[in-house]
Structure 1
Amino acid sequence: MNGPQREGAPSTRAPLIRLRGVERVYGQGDARVVALGGIDLDVWPGEFVALMGPSGSGKSTTMNILGCLDTPTRGSYRLGDVEVTELDNDGRALLRRHTLGFVFQGFHLLPRVTAQENVELPLVYQGVPAHERRLRAREALAQVGLSGREHHVPSELSGGQQQRVAIARAIVAQPKVLLADEPTGNLDSARSHEIMALITRFNRERHLTIVMVTHEPDIAAYAQRVVHFRDGHVERIDGAGEAA
């Protein structure tokens, strides 16, 4: 089963994410590497965008900048009404904590705690009381189809189930943006499409804005737009987004 390109674009006229002239340079002199050569990109509220490209193309650097894990050398990154490049480390950490959810290829679950406790972690950092944390974590696990697995540790779960826990953890704090970095990279084909169906459902039903890095065209096909990177630049964009 392949995920078809989906029609339709968000109705809001202002982009949620706006990159303008974003450059990222590492090193100096002979060791200087231009990871991003000045990219422009808009992502609209409720949109699902995939980033693709060969290794070294700039897609992962872009994802790190969007996730406030790295900062541009030059250019502007606006998330909503916040100019992210003007924030200090603490400001970026707060933005990550309250606005962004993350799903990684390697799941990144704590191995010695239960699924429920893994899902509660973002709420711990937000200072949510314990009783509310437990309720919200159980609800998030139910939403990803893991009712009854709350007290299993990761080693007692399949790869697909672990990624479902990771998705529950990413959505439990109700982020504005879900950043998914190769979310199916460690899964077989059947589990990959199950996970993509789940991510797509959250995009459609919650209007959750999603930006995903993938190497796989059949996984990228679930997105509304596919942004192709090459040599630190946006080479082309496939699919219809909303015009500014």
Structure 2
Amino acid sequence: MAADAPLISLRGVTKSYGTGATQFQALKGVDLDITAGDFVAVMGPSGSGKSTTMNILGCLDVPTDGTFLFRGHHVERLNRDQRALLRRNYLGFVFQGFNLLSRTTALENVELPLLYRGDAKAERRRASMAALEKVGLDRWWDHTPAELSGGQQQRVAIARAIVTNPDVLLADEPTGNLDSERSVEIMHLLTDLNRTSGITVLMVTHEPDMAAFARTVVHFKDGLVERIEAHHAQGEEVNS
């Protein structure tokens, strides 16, 4: 990948579901570049194409047509197993619903991606404790989700997402199940991880207050990128 090339690039990406008269085109030719180390908020009304785009960026779905480059490699040409390897090694995921295993400790939840990857037990524990420390929960490592607040559960989910040291963190409405105070705490945490660890953050949100934490805000409408706004780190818009 050239030094000045974007980490992620979409060109003319379309996505259609169904066939014939029932066919629905969710994406109609999306062009989007994402720079390594950016914090990007993705916004738009329901049906605008933002979730479909995030699924493609997360290698959970494939374009019908168009080009998807990650680190200069053509992701749209990869098979299912190759996309799974890309997800495992380069991407981390945070969801609105936390998706934690209820009967396991915070540490064991964070270890899961490393377990699937086949890492040794000692290395899993070391890396998972380090990830919990990054999110401020190392002292809570032996607590189950039922013993944690919603904000703490989301912190565990973030620790699980970053334990593999991914290039990109994809967050789907990460504050959707939290009150306003916990939401701000999670956004400060994501901002800190972005700045200190260099993780590229891609976040879907419906909330302008949460999008204000991002440096780039991408607005979707009718299956296309409607506009892109650049912001100062504090959330002040500088151009569009």
The alignment's TM-score, normalised by the length of structure 2, stands at: 0.94
Q: Pick which of 24-33 and 175-184 moved more.
A: 24-33
Cα distance in structure 2, aligned partners of 1:206 and 1:156: 29
Q: How does 1:127-142 map to 2 (within 5 A)?
A: 127-142=118-133
Q: Pick which of 144-153 and 89-98 moved more.
A: 144-153
Report the counterpart of residue 81 of structure 1 in structure 2. Answer: 72
- Conserved? CA contact 2:214–2:231, under 8 Å: no
Structure 2 SS opposite 1:239: strand
1:209 aligns with 2:200: yes
1:14 deviates by 1.0
1:240 deviates by 5.9
Deviations 1:63-114 (A, max 9, x none): 0000000000000111102211111000000000000000000001111111
Cα distance in structure 2, aligned partners of 1:39 and 1:147: 41
Report the counterpart of residue 173 of structure 1 in structure 2. Answer: 164
Cα distance in structure 2, aligned partners of 1:211 and 1:119: 20
Report the counterpart of residue 4 of structure 1 in structure 2. Answer: none
- One-letter code of the match for 2:90? T
- One-letter code of the match for 1:154? P
Cα distance in structure 2, aligned partners of 1:126 and 1:81: 24
The alignment's TM-score, normalised by the length of structure 1, stands at: 0.92
- One-letter code of the match for 2:5? A
- Conserved? CA contact 2:217–2:228, under 8 Å: yes
1:125 deviates by 1.6
Structure 2 SS opposite 1:218: helix
Aligned length: 230
- Conserved? CA contact 2:44–2:50, under 8 Å: yes
Cα distance in structure 2, aligned partners of 1:240 and 1:159: 29
Structure 2 SS opposite 1:110: coil
Structure 2 SS opposite 1:25: strand
Structure 1 segments of 4 or more deviating over 4 A?
Answer: none
Report the counterpart of residue 231 of structure 1 in structure 2. Answer: 222
1:30 deviates by 2.1
1:29 deviates by 1.8
Report the counterpart of residue 183 of structure 2 in structure 1. Answer: 192
Structure 2 SS opposite 1:148: helix
- Conserved? CA contact 2:110–2:157, under 8 Å: yes
Cα distance in structure 2, aligned partners of 1:147 and 1:133: 14
* Unpaired runs of at least 5, structure 2: 233-240
Q: How does 1:32-71 map to 2 (within 5 A)?
A: 32-71=23-62
Report the counterpart of residue 15 of structure 1 in structure 2. Answer: 6
Cα distance in structure 1, aligned partners of 2:55 and 2:200: 16
- One-letter code of the match for 1:37? K
- Conserved? CA contact 2:13–2:27, under 8 Å: yes
RMSD: 1.1
- One-letter code of the match for 1:217? P
1:143 aligns with 2:134: yes
Report the counterpart of residue 96 of structure 2 in structure 1. Answer: 105
Question: Which structure ranks higher in relative contact order (CA pairs < 8 Å, sequence separation ≥ 6)?
Answer: 1
1:24 aligns with 2:1: no
